[in-house]
Amino acid sequence: MSDSDQTYDFKSFWLTNLPTRNIFLIILIVYIVLSIFSIIRVDVTNLTDVFTISVDLLKIVGQNNQMVFNGHIYLILTSIFVHSDIIHFISNCLFLFIFGLRAEERFFSWQYYTIFIVSGLLGGILSFVFGPYSISVGASGGIFGLLGADLILAYEENKRKSLWAHLGAGVIFLAITGGVNVNSLAHGIGLLSGIVLPYFFLKRRKTEGRGKSDNSLNLTQKNRKA
């Protein structure tokens, strides 16, 4: 069975050490913990307050450029897993699954994480153009990186339907995540990173690794028969 024929059921998703699942769990845990702290810190007056992270808390855990300038460089990385509210969280997780599960079929775990993290980091670095008082959060830069990688895969495999499907999903994701206070630069650099990074892997992807494994297995079987 080829990698493209893989199916994902609920049980295997949680039991298998897959990058998409791991990133989702980190994002989920971070969102739940921050929501609890946010509820404690603010006066909850409606349901929206329950699912929205307070601005004061985002200034501490998000990519607060002023704090980064003061030496808290780690915020560029950790802010990737922080989301401001339930809509932000759900939309990013939805497209993480759409683009992430596809990328898992062709990239090794280390390649997948590289695309996601590097795309997210470059988006964070580019966010400095907004000045020292800007605050950025969210995994959209990394997710756009996965989208870019998926587009490259579809193009290389000459799968027009997949290419157009991912382009359409990307437009929808951009529309959902777009807005006045959205870091569009992070989206753009994330997409570009996802398109460029796969070429640095020198074709070392799951298809090559699987082919070698299959050849070794066939050779072993022949030796056993002999």
Give how far the C-alpha of residue 50 lies from the chain's centroid of Cα atoms, to the nearest Å: 25
């004061």: which residue's tokens?
56
Return the closest-CA partner of residue 61 out of 43, 85, 88, 81.
81
CA distance 90 to 97: 11
Query: What SS3 class is residue 184?
Result: helix
Give how far the C-alpha of residue 218 lies from the chain's centroid of Cα atoms, to the nearest Å: 36
Give how far the C-alpha of residue 174 lies from the chain's centroid of Cα atoms, to the nearest Å: 14
Bridge partners (DSSP) listed for residue 85: 52
Largest CA distance in the chain: 76
Cβ neighbours around 35 below 10 Å, total: 20
Q: Which residues are catalytic?
A: 140, 187
CA distance 55 to 84: 8
Distance between start and end Cα atoms, the chain: 26
């640095």: which residue's tokens?
200
**Opening angle at CA 126, ends 131 and 148, nearest 5:** 150
